[in-house]
Every structure is written in structure tokens, then in C-alpha cells.
Amino acid sequence: MNHPLLTLNRVTKTFRYGILGFKFKAVDNITLTLEDKPHIFTIAGESGSGKTTLAKMILRLLKPDQGKILFKGVDIYILDNITFNRNIQPILQDPYAAFNPMRKVITYLEDTAKNVLGLKDPYNIKERISEVLSYVGLDLSKVAQKYPHEFSGGELQRMAIARALIPSPKLIVADEPVSMLDASLRINIVNLMKKIKDEKGITFIYITHDLATAYYLSDKIAVMFRGTIIEVGDSKKVLSKPLHPYTQILMESLPQVDPKRRSEWSMKRPKLGFHIEEQEFALKGCKFMPRCPYAMSICKNDPPEIDIGGTRVRCWLYK
């Protein structure tokens, strides 16, 4: 256990936007470390925060323009395909898009068992598939012949999780795995992820914009805003006592699932920006400044990262 499970070292990704080719950094100089012990690490943020871009880079779907991503100390671009796939697996947002509608879903599990896990004997393959399916609560005989559209959303996402479990990876990157599911089914998948972490010792990177499930599920959380991580630490701490003004506004805006707290919620009105994204990205210094209730003139410079009781915040307020 000398190397951390996953290290992101000053990772940056620049995109072009619009006809004039306006450049912006979707992911700006991110440094992050995941320890090599089973836990659930949430990367939270709204759309445009860069969390999906970050997830794609960890999965080798996009190459960072600067910086390195290391898995157990090894650059992921040095790892060969099989080793990479054996250790890191994805769960995608839309289960119906994750499988080819023309193929039976089980074929993906078979492929994973054969190519990634390296099983050759059809009996072993069937056994392994049966094993993971019953672990996620599905019955092989019932799902073996089905095409994606014949599954319900919750079942199909379970198939995706089962497929990811086949090679017993060390890390599963789940990109908004429950946002397309109905509310009553979400908690089942979330509970399943918790169970997998506890029983199989697999670490999850949980990408989401839903702070409630993040609170319920995760051990650590990193909050992203316009490409930077503005706060990272123990998730219960960060979400109950947010330090960064953006996190505070997020938590205040969350609707409470308790009608009695309505007046509390309606007290503060959030300050809305004009939401011209290019302008926000082009800002020098703290990108949250236009909407920050505590903005000072020093915020025109990039805020430093400060450690407050285990939580790291990127804000001039704490200097």
C-alpha cells in the first residue's frame, strides 16, 4: 500500500467553444489523490463544472493537455489495455445508451469475462456471470436472452454494474449512475454501490450533481466549479458545514425534503449570474467572484488552497 490508488497531478484540459474558437479550460490544474483503501469519493458539481471531463480523462477517453494521471503510481497511458480494464471500470449515466440496442446485453458480460478476466472455459464464464448477476440481484436465466429495451432502467443499470464487477476492479468510475432513474429506484442502486464498497473492497468515484445522495453514500467529496476543485474533504463535514461560499450557496439552495423547513429555505434568494459561460471561464483569479457574496478585490488573483481541519478550501476568505 505504498502508492495511492489514483493520483491526478496538475491535470488540465482545454476545449474550444463556439465559432470563434474561444478556448477555455474545462479542467484547470487539478491535483487529487485517492488512497488505496476502499471508499467512495464523490466529485460534485453542476453542469459546466468539468466533472464529466475529469471522469473521461480518468477513463482514458480524453487525454489531458497537461499533467498526469497515475494509477498506483503508474501513468495510465503506460498501462496496457488489459491491465487497465482489469483495474478500472466505468458505469455510465444512461443505461440504455451504454449497451448496443442490437445486441443482447449478456454478450457484453461474456466479452468482459473472456477478454478482461481471461476466462476461456465456457463453464467458468457462465459461472462468473451467474455469480455477479445474483450479487446485484438479477437472475441469469431471466436476463440471458434480453435486449436493452426489454429491461427497465433500474435492471439495466444493475446489468451495467454486474459487467463492471466481473474483473473485480480496484476502481469503478460511476458518472451520474442514478440521475436517469426514478427516485424510488435510485436508493437501491446507491445502496448496492455501498454494499460493493463494503464487501468487495472496491473504491468508487461517484460523479454527481445530487448532493443528497452524495451525503448518503460518500466518504470524501470534492466540489468542482468551472474546472477547479474549490473544496475537498470528508463528505459529512463538507456538506454539513460548507466552507467555500459556492458550496454554501449550493447547500442553501437544495430543497429540503421537509415542508416545515420551507420558510427557512425561502429566506435567502440566490444571486443569479447572467450565465454567459465564456465570461466566467475567462476570468482571471477566482471564477466564482461575480456571484460570491463575500467577493473582495484580492479575489482577482488565483486563491490558494488552505487546509482547515482536514478540509482543503480554495478561497481567500480563509487566508
Partner 1 sequence: MNIVLKSFSKISSISKAFFSLGRYARFKFGSAMLLIIAALAFTSMLAPPTYERWYYYQKDLPPQLDINRLDLILGTTTNGRPILWITLNALANSLYIGVLTALIASHIGLLIGLLAGLARGYKESILITMIDSFVSLPGLPLLIVLAMALKQNLSIYFIPLILSVIAWAWPARNVRSITVSVLSRDFIVTSSFSGIRFTGILFYEVLPYVIGWHITNFINTIIWAIGMETALAIFGLSILSKDTLGTMIYWALNYNALFRGLWWWLLPPVLLLILIFVSLYMISVSISTYLNPRLRGGSGR
Partner 2 sequence: MNEKEMVLEAQNVYGEYTISPTNTVKAVRDVSISISKGEVVGIAGESGCGKSTLVKILYGYLEPPLTAKGNVLIRINNTPPVNILSLNEVYKREKIWWRYMSYIPQNSMNVLNPFMRIGDHFAELLKKHIGLNKEDSYRVAREYVESLGLRKEILKAFPHQLSGGMRQRIVLLLALMLKPSIILADEPTTAVDVVLQKALLMFLLDKQREYGSSLVIVTHDLGVHAMASQRLVVMYAGKVVEEAPTEIIFEDPKHPYSMALIESIPRIGDESPKKGLLGSPPDLRNPPHGCEFHDRCPFAMDICKREPPPKITYEHNHVVRCWLYTKR
Tell me how many residues contact partner 2 (CB under 8 A).
48
Q: Across-strand partners of 171?
A: 88, 203
Q: Judged by CB under 8 A, which stretch of 70-78, 88-96, 126-134, 271-279 contacts partner 2?
A: 271-279
116-149 in b/e form (b: 16+ CB < 10 A) is: bbebeeeeebeebbbebbebbebebeebbeeebe
209 binds partner 2 (CB under 8 A): yes
Provide the minimum distance between the beta carbon of 221 and partner 2 in the complex, in angstroms, as a whole number.
12
Pairing of strands 22-34, 171-175: unpaired
- Give the β-pairing of 220-225 and 40-44: parallel
Residue ranges binding partner 1 (CB under 8 A): 59, 61, 81-82, 85, 89-90, 92, 94, 96-103, 107-109, 111-112, 114-116, 148-149, 152-153, 160, 163-164
Of 111 and 234, nearer to partner 1 (C-beta) is 111
Q: Using CB under 8 A, which of 42, 213, 247, 311 touches partner 2?
A: 213
Applying CB under 8 A, does 285 fall inside the site for partner 2? Answer: no
Question: 149 contacts which partner out of partner 1, partner 2, none, CB within 5 to 8 A by kind?
Answer: partner 1
Which does residue 85 bind out of partner 1, partner 2, none, counting CB within 5 to 8 angstroms by kind?
partner 1
CA–CA distances in Å: residue 107 to residues 159, 163, 172: 11, 10, 20
Are the C-beta atoms of 30 and 208 separated by less than 8 Å?
Answer: no
Q: Does 52 bind partner 2 (CB under 8 A)?
A: no
The verdict on 215 binding partner 2 (CB under 8 A) reads: yes
Is 224 a binding residue for partner 2 by CB under 8 A? The answer is: no
**Nearest distance from C-beta of residue 216 to partner 2, angstroms:** 4
* DSSP-assigned states of every residue in 16-58: EETTTTEEEEEEEEEEEEE-SS--EEEEE--TTSSHHHHHHHH
Query: Which residue, 81 or 152, has its beta carbon nearer to partner 2?
Result: 152
The answer to the question of residue 186 lying near partner 2 (CB under 8 A) is: yes
Is 223 within 8 Å of 247 (Cβ atoms)?
A: yes
Cβ atoms of 223 and 266 within 8 Å: the answer is: no
Residue-wise burial string across 169-207, b where 16 or more C-beta atoms lie within 10 A, e elsewhere: bbbbbbbbbbeebeeebbebbbebbeebbeeeebbbbbb
How many H helices and E strands in the chain?
12, 12
Q: Does the protein bind partner 2 through residue 42 (CB under 8 A)?
A: no
Between 7 and 112, whose beta carbon lies closer to partner 1? Answer: 112
By the criterion CB under 8 A, which residues form the site for partner 2?
Answer: 46-47, 152-155, 182-188, 190-191, 209, 211-213, 215-217, 236, 239-240, 249-262, 265-266, 269-272, 274-275, 277
